[in-house]
């Protein structure tokens, strides 16, 4: 396998964890480059369901090295809990996990400010995961963040944290929230830091040496293209570059070392949190929820569901340079007939082929649909493309034509084996 960037081509939760797990077999190293524990990547491994938040999904497989890159924001307490949780389930975590010393930290005031901002915004809220992601990346951009390297130097860390707690307590009080205790935060973070110390190092140098030795790297994207801070449906986005470029800046691996980009998309569309979802459809949402599907892996919130949006995914193909598509959850449409596909938006009487930049305009876009026949048959046990019902094959070919990228993986169930490789 070549060095591969895997990204979500919609609004997150496309099934990246499942596809990473499929591709990990051929990779040596799996790297996270952005996001934090707002992510929830589901992998079914040996019949057990795991949800990974900060640790790359490759950790479940023996002999794979997992790296948390410099572009990730790390909540050390959450990371220690995730490591302990996996160890309790029998997963080995030792020399197979590396953490960048340049990664920024999520601190308790980030979580509280995230929560308070959401509360105060009321109906204009973003619907964040309340994990402190926005405020942590805010501090990074403002050059006032604390990093893993600080946490590795207790005296330096405590001094910096104290100044930050004083500053942020003023903000918290102004927002009407309780201030935090420096002593408690300092103690719990230093304790977590000691647990993480064996994993922390310069991951850029590690990755470059691995590339020199011919190792193959899989870059595990978190969130999805339309949650990207630059290209997403701003302000209803997360605070990192979720698109392919983020894999370079978030790891220190240069663009010319990347060989291919795999875009993961569901056969329909989902979104969790606020912001426009042009193809949202209540009956489809209810149908999927009634099957026990589409509940958030991190927050348990109900995901909003809609028809496949070729305007959005075509744009995602452009931004990310998607070479190959992994289409997941095809089985979610097994009983749906007819199936709608959004081929354009209409805004103020004009037809649009790309999503508008402005959030209000996007919210006012009406989808232009085409209808195709469903297959009304279970696809769960299909393992070869030719064995799919002809209407399902047509559907895949149609969405790949509209999107402008070749399908290389079709997923018909959550387990590793429920996969068709083209």
Binding residues for Mg ion, per CB under 5 A?
Answer: 13, 40, 297
Binding mask 111-150 for ligand IMO (x = CB under 6 A): ---------------xxxx-x-xx----------------
- Could you say whether residue 150 binds ligand GDP (CB under 6 A)? no
**Of 15, 56, 132, 245, which one interacts with ligand GDP (CB under 6 A)?**
15
Task: Please say whether the beta carbons of 104 and 146 come within 8 A.
Answer: yes
Catalytic, 208? Answer no
**Of 223, 285, 379, 403, which one interacts with ligand IMO (CB under 6 A)?**
223
Q: Choose the contact partner of 243 out of Mg ion, ligand IMO, ligand GDP, none; CB within 5 to 8 A by kind.
A: none
Task: Please say whether the beta carbons of 54 and 39 come within 8 A.
Answer: yes
Phi and psi, residue 421, nearest 5°: -100, 125
Q: Choose the contact partner of 328 out of ligand GDP, Mg ion, ligand IMO, none; CB within 5 to 8 A by kind.
A: ligand GDP
- Could you say whether residue 78 binds ligand IMO (CB under 6 A)? no
Site for ligand GDP in 270-299 (CB under 6 A): 297
- Could you say whether residue 116 binds ligand GDP (CB under 6 A)? no
Q: What is the largest CA-CA distance in the chain?
A: 65
- Could you say whether residue 37 binds ligand GDP (CB under 6 A)? no
Cα distance between residue 415 and residue 418, in whole Å: 5
Write down the residue that tokens 């990664």 correspond to.
103
Nearer to ligand IMO, 13 or 281 (CB): 13
Catalytic residue (choose from 21, 28, 41, 104): 41
Catalytic residue (choose from 13, 150, 281, 309): 13
* CB of residue 190 to ligand IMO, shortest distance in Å: 26
Cα distance between residue 288 and residue 109, in whole Å: 37
How many of the chain's residues bind ligand IMO (CB under 6 A)? 23
Three-class DSSP labels, 267-321:
CCEEECCCCCCCCECHHHHHHHHHCCCCECCCCCCECEEECEEHHHHHHHHHHHC
3-state SS assignment for residue 370: strand
* CB of residue 408 to ligand GDP, shortest distance in Å: 14
Nearer to Mg ion, 22 or 210 (CB): 22
- Could you say whether residue 42 binds ligand GDP (CB under 6 A)? yes
- Could you say whether residue 411 binds ligand GDP (CB under 6 A)? yes
Task: Please say whether the beta carbons of 43 and 17 come within 8 A.
Answer: yes
Nearest to 204 by CA among 217, 222, 190, 223: 217
Q: Is the backbone peptide bond immediately before 235 cis, with ω within 30 degrees of 0?
A: yes
- Could you say whether residue 14 binds ligand GDP (CB under 6 A)? yes
Catalytic, 41? Answer yes
Task: Please say whether the beta carbons of 373 and 333 come within 8 A.
Answer: no
Site for ligand GDP in 304-343 (CB under 6 A): 328-329, 331
| Range in contact with ligand GDP (rule: CB under 6 A) among 36-44, 179-187, 226-234, 350-358 | 36-44
Contacts of 347 (CB under 8 A, 6+ apart): 356, 361, 364, 365, 366
* CB of residue 12 to Mg ion, shortest distance in Å: 6
Q: Choose the contact partner of 329 out of Mg ion, ligand GDP, ligand IMO, none; CB within 5 to 8 A by kind.
A: ligand GDP
Write down the residue that tokens 């002593």 correspond to.
183
* CB of residue 74 to Mg ion, shortest distance in Å: 18
What size, in residues, is the chain?
422
Nearest to 7 by CA among 241, 290, 356: 241
DSSP bridge partners of 200: 99
| Range in contact with ligand IMO (rule: CB under 6 A) among 37-45, 75-83, 87-95, 252-260 | 37-45
Token couple for 93? 């975590």
Nearer to Mg ion, 242 or 317 (CB): 242
Phi and psi, residue 88, nearest 5°: -65, -25
Task: Please say whether the beta carbons of 99 and 200 come within 8 A.
Answer: yes
* CB of residue 222 to Mg ion, shortest distance in Å: 8
Cα distance between residue 305 and residue 284, in whole Å: 6
- Would you please indicate which residues are annotated as catalytic (active-site) residues? 13, 41
Q: Applying CB under 6 A, which residues contact ligand IMO?
A: 8, 12-13, 38-41, 126-129, 131, 133-134, 222-224, 227, 238-239, 272-273, 297
Q: Applying CB under 6 A, which residues contact ligand GDP?
A: 8, 12-18, 40-42, 297, 328-329, 331, 411-414
């Amino acid at each position: 396998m070549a060095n591969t960037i895997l990204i979500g081509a919609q609004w997150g939760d496309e099934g990246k964890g499942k596809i990473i797990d499929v591709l990990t077999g051929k990779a040596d190293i799996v790297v996270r480059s952005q996001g934090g524990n707002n992510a929830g990547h589901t992998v079914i491994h040996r019949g057990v369901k795991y949800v990974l938040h900060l640790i790359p999904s490759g950790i479940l497989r023996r002999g794979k090295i997992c790296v948390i890159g410099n572009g990730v924001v790390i909540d050390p307490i959450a990371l220690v809990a995730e490591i302990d949780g996996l160890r309790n389930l029998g997963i080995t975590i030792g020399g197979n996990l590396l953490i960048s010393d340049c990664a920024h930290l999520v601190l308790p005031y980030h979580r509280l400010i995230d929560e308070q901002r959401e509360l105060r915004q009321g109906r204009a809220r973003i619907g964040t995961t309340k994990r402190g992601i926005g405020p942590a990346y805010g501090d990074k951009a403002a050059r006032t963040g604390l990093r893993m390297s600080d946490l590795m130097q207790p005296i330096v860390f405590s001094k910096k944290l104290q100044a930050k707690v004083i500053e942020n307590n003023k903000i918290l009080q102004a927002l009407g929230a309780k201030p935090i205790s420096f002593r408690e935060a300092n103690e719990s973070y230093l304790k977590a830091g000691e647990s993480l110390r064996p994993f922390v190092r310069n991951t850029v140098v590690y990755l470059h040496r691995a590339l020199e030795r011919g190792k193959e790297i899989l870059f595990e994207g978190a969130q999805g293209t339309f949650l990207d801070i630059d290209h997403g449906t701003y302000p209803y986005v997360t605070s990192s570059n979720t698109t392919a470029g983020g894999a370079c800046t978030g790891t220190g691996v240069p663009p010319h070392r990347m060989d291919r980009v795999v875009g993961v998309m569901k056969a329909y569309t989902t979104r969790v949190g606020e912001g426009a979802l042009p193809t949202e459809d209540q009956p489809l949402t209810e149908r999927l929820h009634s099957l026990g599907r589409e509940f958030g892996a991190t927050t348990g919130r109900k995901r909003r569901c809609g028809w496949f949006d070729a305007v959005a995914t075509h744009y995602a193909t452009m931004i990310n340079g998607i070479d190959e598509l992994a289409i997941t959850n095809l089985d979610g449409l097994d009983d749906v007939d007819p199936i709608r596909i959004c081929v354009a938006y209409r805004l103020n009487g004009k037809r649009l082929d790309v999503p508008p930049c402005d959030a209000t305009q996007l919210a006012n876009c009406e989808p232009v649909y085409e209808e195709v026949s469903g297959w009304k048959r279970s696809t769960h046990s299909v393992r070869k493309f030719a064995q799919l019902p002809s209407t399902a094959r047509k559907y895949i070919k149609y969405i790949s034509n509209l999107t402008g990228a070749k399908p290389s993986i079709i997923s018909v169930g959550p387990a590793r084996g429920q996969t068709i490789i083209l």
